[in-house]
């Protein structure tokens, strides 16, 4: 019997999950739950839409909910609230607040007897897994995470708030020099500026002062001041034509030593090159949704992360098949 999935929130991530479910024969989309009026929008695949307020009426028909809201305001209350009644997966990605979110979700999931897997995606998610595996294997070492080349939504938004800016896209780019040093096992200490570049494509409003806008962007604290930042002014047409995608990716690299006195060096590198950040995140969410349902069926409950999920739970294939084909 296939796993029935509900999607909560229908933006880029929700649509990505809708597409990803289609790629998994053991799963089916039960419906999409949104704060919007369900008659006011169409789903990509014709899946049914419901108002979020009705969700409890569907409790018995849904095996797992994939929460596709934002980490800033939606997930902190939605995940614990829904974990009372459903197995849930979210992609909560405010790293500093993960411990707090974990506690809140764990309490409700345990009371409800449900499984909740939080912070699922690629970072946090697949990158976190790779940091953990690499540290466990090479305890005497150092790890590095680089992001990009990819679009940072937060930084693009920050530019759009600058006076005189009509629209903008910001790319985070790992520095080749830093990557090369890390790959060579040099274990460098890298400043913020040495790790990533920031490249901005900006459309000005009519009459705006380009020089002033550029200065304001480059000196923006937290977002740009600590980086080497390049600003390109382009037309709205160019922005829409050349910068409408949401690519991303990055690298997790651990360099470590083994031997009686650390005489041998090893480099473990994991990298992602993604055409669509939200669609890849969605694909990770969907296979963890499968894991959540399995863990719940085994009688487990509470809040989990990717660290707590045995890899075989992610796959629709049997242990026997996996050992034969992939081990």
Which of the ranges 20-28, 71-79, 220-228, 232-240 carries the binding residues for its own copies, by CB under 8 A? 20-28
Which is nearer to its own copies, 43 or 78 (by Cβ)? 43
Q: How far apart are the first and last CA of the chain?
A: 27
Among 82, 129, 200, 202, binds its own copies (CB under 8 A): 129
Which is nearer to its own copies, 88 or 231 (by Cβ)? 88
Distance CA 216, CA 225 (A): 10
Q: How many residues bind its own copies (CB under 8 A)?
A: 67
**Binding of residue 126 to its own copies (CB under 8 A):** yes
Q: State the minimum distance, in angstroms, from the CB of residue 254 to its own copies.
A: 10
Handedness of CA 159, 165, 167, 169 (dihedral sign): negative
**Binding of residue 260 to its own copies (CB under 8 A):** yes
Q: State the minimum distance, in angstroms, from the CB of residue 279 to its own copies.
A: 4
**Binding of residue 320 to its own copies (CB under 8 A):** yes
Half-sphere exposure of 113 (CA within 13 A, CB side): 3
**Binding of residue 11 to its own copies (CB under 8 A):** no
Which is nearer to its own copies, 148 or 220 (by Cβ)? 148
- Distances from the Cα of 166 to the Cα of 61, 202, 238, angstroms: 45, 8, 13
Residues 97 to 116 in contact with its own copies, rule: CB under 8 A: 98-99, 102
Q: State the minimum distance, in angstroms, from the CB of residue 315 to its own copies.
A: 5
Length of the chain: 327
What 213-222 contacts at long range (C-beta under 8 Å, 24+ apart), as own/partner pairs, is 213/162, 213/163, 213/164, 213/165, 216/162, 216/163, 217/159, 217/162, 220/158, 220/162
| Nearest Cα residue to 115 out of 61, 66, 68, 75 | 66
Q: State the minimum distance, in angstroms, from the CB of residue 201 to its own copies.
A: 21
Burial class (CB in 10 A: 0-12, 13-18, 19+), 271: middle
Binding mask 262-301 for its own copies (x = CB under 8 A): --xxxxxxxxxxxxx--xx-xxx--x--------------
Two tokens, residue 30: 């039960």
**Binding of residue 2 to its own copies (CB under 8 A):** no
Handedness of CA 44, 48, 53, 56 (dihedral sign): negative
| Phi, psi angle pair for 19, to nearest 5° | -70, -40
- Distances from the Cα of 242 to the Cα of 130, 180, 201, angstroms: 32, 29, 10
Among 56, 72, 137, 210, binds its own copies (CB under 8 A): 137
Which of the ranges 32-40, 125-133, 193-201, 206-214 carries the binding residues for its own copies, by CB under 8 A? 125-133
Which of the ranges 55-63, 186-194, 227-235, 256-264 carries the binding residues for its own copies, by CB under 8 A? 256-264
Which is nearer to its own copies, 115 or 284 (by Cβ)? 284
Which of the ranges 147-155, 189-197, 221-229, 316-324 carries the binding residues for its own copies, by CB under 8 A? 316-324
Residues 178 to 197 in contact with its own copies, rule: CB under 8 A: 183
Q: State the minimum distance, in angstroms, from the CB of residue 206 to its own copies.
A: 35
Contact set with its own copies (CB under 8 A): 16, 19-20, 22-24, 44-45, 95, 98-99, 102, 119, 124, 126, 128-133, 135-140, 183, 258-260, 264-276, 279-280, 282-284, 287, 305-312, 314-315, 319-320, 322-324, 326-327
């Amino acid at each position: 019997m296939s796993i029935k999935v509900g999607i909560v929130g229908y933006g880029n991530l929700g649509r990505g999950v809708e597409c990803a479910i289609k790629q998994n024969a053991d799963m089916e989309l039960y419906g999409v739950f949104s704060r919007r009026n369900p008659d006011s929008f169409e789903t990509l695949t014709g899946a049914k839409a419901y108002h979020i307020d009705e969700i409890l009426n569907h409790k018995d028909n849904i095996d797992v909910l994939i929460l596709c809201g934002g980490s800033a305001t939606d997930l902190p209350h939605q995940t614990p609230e829904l974990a009372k009644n459903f197995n849930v997966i979210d992609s909560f990605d405010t790293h500093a607040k993960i411990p707090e979110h974990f506690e809140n979700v764990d309490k409700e999931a345990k009371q409800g007897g449900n499984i909740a897997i939080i912070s699922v995606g690629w970072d946090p998610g697949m990158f976190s897994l790779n940091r953990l595996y690499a540290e466990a294997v090479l305890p005497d070492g150092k790890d590095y995470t680089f992001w990009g080349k990819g679009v940072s939504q937060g930084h693009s938004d920050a530019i759009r708030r600058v006076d005189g800016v009509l629209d903008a896209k910001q790319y985070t780019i790992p520095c080749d020099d830093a990557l090369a040093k890390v790959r060579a096992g040099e274990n460098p200490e890298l400043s913020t500026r040495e790790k990533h570049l920031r490249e901005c494509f900006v459309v000005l409003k009519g009459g705006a002062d380009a020089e002033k806008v550029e200065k304001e962007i480059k000196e923006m604290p937290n977002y740009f001041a600590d980086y080497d930042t390049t600003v390109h002014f382009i037309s709205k047409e160019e922005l829409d034509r050349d910068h409408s995608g949401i690519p991303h990716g990055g690298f997790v690299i651990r360099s470590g030593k083994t031997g009686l006195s650390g005489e041998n060096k090893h480099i473990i590198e994991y990298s992602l090159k993604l055409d669509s950040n939200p669609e890849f995140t969605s694909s990770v969410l969907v296979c963890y949704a499968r894991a959540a349902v399995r863990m719940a069926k085994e009688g487990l409950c509470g809040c989990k992360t990717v660290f707590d999920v045995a890899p075989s739970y992610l796959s629709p294939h049997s242990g026997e098949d996996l050992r034969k084909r992939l081990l």
